[in-house]
Each structure stands twice: as structure tokens, then as C-alpha cells.
Amino acid sequence: VHLVESGGGSVQVGGSLRLSCAASGFTFDNYCMGWFRQSPGKDREGVASIKNDGTKSYTDSVRGRFTISQDNTKNILFLQMNSLKPEDTAMYYCAAVGPCVSALVFRLLAASDANIWGQGTQVTVSS
């Protein structure tokens, strides 16, 4: 069971990046999926979540700028990040929470929920 992120990099303020997370060894059918980020000295925070019924949740600081989506045929999770700001600089991780129970559907996933993690991809936004 693996998650592998890609797509991170360095961009200027206002730029865009698209992160991908490829899953192997399991399918998204019974999992909630999420993107998290962590910057030095801070706790890992939930950024965006998508549940197996398609319900999406976002943290307030990225709502309207980031979009989470998934391709269930290829088992790939995406995070489209637009209008990037310096405060978006962090290591970004994808994670899976299984099973995706009803209690998780309408809230943003927390790091403590996750039981499968990727290795992370760095996003750096410079002014």
C-alpha cells in the first residue's frame, strides 16, 4: 500500500501548481482522501479532503484557490493550487483514511484520522 506525491516545486506569488498523488495497493472506493501540509515548526494541517461520495472540504485559507479532485479509474488524487501565496509554502502530503465512515464526510480530515501517508512533495512560493 503506497501513496506517491509529485508536482511540487518553486513558483512566484500568484502562480499555480498541480499536485498529484498516485495510490497503489488499494482503491479509493472505501477511503476518504486528503491533502495536508506542514511547514517548519508547525503542526501538520489538513488542506483539502474528498470523500468517497465526492463531498469536498477545504481549510478556510485555501478555499476558492485550491481544488481537490480524484481520478477513480487511475487511483490518482490531485490538488490544483492557484493564486499561490508565500504562506502556502510547506511540504505537502497526501493521505488516505479508511474506511471512509459517515462521520468523516462533512468535515475536513485531520492528520490524526489518516492511516496511509505519502512521502511528501515540497511547495515553495516566493515573492
| 101 confidence band (pLDDT: 50, 70, 90) | confident
Neighbours of 34 (CB within 10 A): 28
pLDDT for the residue numbered 40: 92
Tell me the average pLDDT across 80-86.
98
Answer whether residue 102 shows pLDDT above 90.
no
Answer whether residue 88 shows pLDDT above 90.
yes
pLDDT for the residue numbered 105: 83
Give the separation between CA 21 and CA 88, rounded to whole angstroms.
18
Residue pointed to by grid coordinates 468535515: 107
| 29 confidence band (pLDDT: 50, 70, 90) | confident
pLDDT for the residue numbered 96: 96
Answer whether residue 80 shows pLDDT above 90.
yes
pLDDT tens, position by position, 45-75: 999 999 988 999 999 999 999 999 999 999 9
pLDDT for the residue numbered 106: 83
Tell me the average pLDDT across 13-39.
95
Give the separation between CA 121 and CA 99, rounded to whole angstroms.
25
Query: In whole angstroms, what separates CA 104 from the centre of its chain?
Result: 15
Tell me the average pLDDT of the chain. 95
pLDDT for the residue numbered 38: 98
Please tell me what DSSP assigns to residue 127.
-
